[in-house]
Amino acid sequence: MSKYYLRRLRNRYSNTKFILFVKRYILHKTQKKYTFNPEILEGSCDVPLQWTSPDKKPIIGLVKDYSNLNFVPFNSYWPRFEKFLNYNSFETIIFNINESNWIENVKKCDVIVYRTPSEHYDQYESKMKVWFIENILKKKVLPSYNHLWYYEDKIAQYYLLKELKLPVIDTFISFSYDESIKYINNCRYPFVSKITTGSGSLGVEIVKSKRKAERVVNKIFTSGYRTGYSYFKQKNYVYFQKYIDNCEYDLRVIVIGNKLFGYYRLTPKNDFRASGAGLVVKQEIPVEALDFAYRVAQKLNTYFIAVDLLKDNSTNKFLINEVSIFIQVDTDEQLHVDGKPGFYERLDEGVYNFKEGRYWIQELILEEFLKREYLNNR
């Protein structure tokens, strides 16, 4: 599409119509590249669930994530969930929870499986509906509202992790302008400023001077501070995190029941942010990190969580950077040991057995959920 043609369109249509046109054009051009291919499900290990309960299997309501798009993106969760449900012969109803008939669809089911969106503008809808499904319609939901409460919310996570006495990176959070000004007048530079909801390092920047900090704080508490998202600004709160120097990677450990996966995300040259850079190394995970992440899952009372860890070079100990109940999953190989895909099976504190195989973590999450909710196999 030429610049001349774009200018003609821009002059002809309103700003909103022009933006929608460009977005649809880009989507059309990139759709094939990012469309889910069912063939990628072939070759991965099936996850059998032995139904030992005398009760009938529940009817599963499977929510289509990214359902507002006119194609299925490659990283959608629901086709992986569907693979598990089909293999284990569950009656499944697949529906779009964004539509007005969502309550009628939920009422047809016993359990709702919902990979809730991570975008800021989706948080209200997903949290409101999951609370309603659990508390008013009395249905079981994966994830529960208790787990969803801190998903993609760094402030909620920090309050929770700190209260549970888990080792988190020192962070200053305030919704007060006066207190924020006092902090930047006395704090140590540099520090990292973050927005509460953002993935792939969006809304994350390093603040190296008091002059820069004053500009950030004054913007946040007046017109709002840019975030990297076009549709919202950071407004009336600060999230200032201690800068961990010489950190060459972060380590993501995924805990699903007693199965653990993980990989390293390297920090790009001349940057401090590993998330979103795409520099992933899959190799053995130290036992110390596996035990650490497992304890985090136990403290949070959850059976599936991804824990992002940084090592503080001054103490040589791991600190929690962030936790997440959902992550982007492009492959059925979330861990490699000696070049082979698989997972660590936890046998006891400090004792793990590597099991080779390619697994979609969505299947293992759903297996664990059904075991705990219906089979009491903990």
Domain-embedded: residue 148: no
pTM of the predicted model as reported, rounded to 2 decimal places: 0.87
The pLDDT value given to residue 248 = 76
Q: Do both 276 and 253 map to the same domain?
A: yes
- The residue segments making up the domain with residue 120 are 39-139
Quick check: is 196 in a domain?
yes
User: Closest Cα partner for 306 from 359, 360, 241, 256?
Assistant: 256
Q: For the chain (length 378 residues), average pLDDT per consecutive 10?
A: 47 51 56 85 96 93 92 92 98 97 98 92 92 98 96 95 96 97 96 87 89 96 88 92 83 97 80 55 95 97 95 86 94 96 97 97 97 80
Q: What strands lie across the sheet with 140-142, from one edge to the other? A: 92-95, 60-63, 111-113, 140-142
Q: Answer whether residue 212 is part of any domain.
A: yes
CATH number for the domain spanning 198: value is: 3.30.1490.20
Q: Please tell me whether residues 16 and 107 are part of one structural domain.
A: no
pLDDT at position 24: 58
User: Is residue 268 domain-shared with residue 365, that is, in the same domain?
Assistant: yes
Residue 106 confidence (pLDDT) = 98
- Do residues 267 and 321 share a domain? yes
Sign, CA dihedral 170-123-335-271, equals negative
Task: Give the pLDDT confidence score for residue 3 in this predicted structure.
Answer: 47
Task: Collect all residues with Cβ–Cβ distance below 8 Å to 179 and sequence separation of at least 6.
Answer: none
What pLDDT, on a 0 to 100 scale, did the predictor assign at position 177? 97
Residue 323 in tokens: 């936790």
Residues 109 and 22 in one domain: no
Residue 163: inside a domain, yes or no?
Answer: no
How many independent structural domains does the chain possess?
Answer: 4
Please tell me whether residues 219 and 235 are part of one structural domain: yes
Look at residues 181, 192, 182 and name the one whose alpha carbon lies nearest to residue 310.
192
Q: What is residue 200's predicted lDDT score, i.e. its pLDDT?
A: 66
> With contact defined as beta carbons under 8 Å apart, do 344 and 335 qualify?
yes
